[in-house]
Amino acid sequence: MILKSIYIPFGGIFPALTGFLSAREDFMHHFPRIDQKTLYGQAHTGTAVIDRRISNLHLIMHRIRIDSGVNLLLHEKYTIDFLYLPIDFESFFIWLRMIMDQIAFLTPLFYERQGILPRNSFNDQLKWFKEDKTGFDNKCRNYLLSNMQWFTEIRDIRDDALHRRFWSYAEMKTKGEVNIKRMRGNRLEKDIESLDKTIGQFYFKFAAFSRFYEKHFSELLHSRDKNFKFLGQHVEMVEEYFASIEYFTSKAGNVS
């Protein structure tokens, strides 16, 4: 397999933020310890967390690809790999929600004015932007108002699992397509057709949000310091990551 470049969501902007804030940090008072109370300290810690969480999201995608993949035949649908699929389906949305909450934690650090945006959850931050009439960041607000319906959907899937006593099982169709049945008690509530296509569509929208986010907030940092340059990202892709991401995004579009 030839590994070509492929876009990894948020692979560049948060390291850039950390570097931007490091130039404003007074390390003399606490070197070599990182002061978690400073903006730099929060960016440094938050960037490490989100990098790990996105890596874990890719691992979940990889396992779904393998467990629902090419070598799984109809008579193998009760193997342990196949039985993991509903667990990985719910895990994908739980991890994606955690990533979005971590984005909400880091977003206020891009702004010169602190203490304005809520940062405990992306849901609270999204609600704040929708209700904001002050013109704090109209470009970001307009994007969020028009493009974040998918976040409401992942929140509902995650909340179904955590708060509404939903459970899931996988069902294989005769042509090898995997559906996810969303149950509450013994009643079918939702039938998710095509597991891999569903995952691909949500990942594609997540990546599209990342593209807007990296462009918008790199421009914001440049407006604060004309010497700031956003170099994007350079990610060394291992074959497993590439194959999994390419597999899912090909179901919904191309984000390479």
**Are residues 164 and 158 in contact, defined by beta-carbon separation less than 8 angstroms?**
no
Cα end-to-end distance, the chain, whole Å:
15
Residue 254: per-residue pLDDT:
52
Q: Per-residue pLDDT averaged across 120-138, rounded? A: 95
Q: What's CA 89's distance to the chain center, in Å?
A: 14
**Are residues 170 and 192 in contact, defined by beta-carbon separation less than 8 angstroms?**
no
Say yes or no to pLDDT of 246 above 90: no
**Are residues 24 and 227 in contact, defined by beta-carbon separation less than 8 angstroms?**
no
Of the candidates 198, 210, 154, 196, the residue with the CA atom closest to the CA atom of residue 7: 210
Residue 62: per-residue pLDDT:
84
Q: Per-residue pLDDT averaged across 13-23, rounded? A: 92
Give the chain's radius of gyration (CA, Å). Answer: 20
Residue 82: per-residue pLDDT:
77
Residue of 76 and 243 predicted with greater confidence: 243
Q: Per-residue pLDDT averaged across 169-177, rounded? A: 76
- Measured CA to CA, the distance from residue 78 to residue 15 in angstroms comes to 43
- Measured CA to CA, the distance from residue 34 to residue 11 in angstroms comes to 22
Say yes or no to pLDDT of 80 above 70: no
Residue 43: per-residue pLDDT:
95
- Measured CA to CA, the distance from residue 10 to residue 15 in angstroms comes to 9
- Domain-wise residue ranges, the chain: 13-252
pTM of the model: 0.86
Under the banding of pLDDT at 50, 70 and 90, the label for residue 3 is very low
The answer, yes or no, to whether the previous bond of 32 is cis (omega within 30 of 0) is yes
Q: What's CA 145's distance to the chain center, in Å?
A: 18
Q: What's CA 231's distance to the chain center, in Å?
A: 21
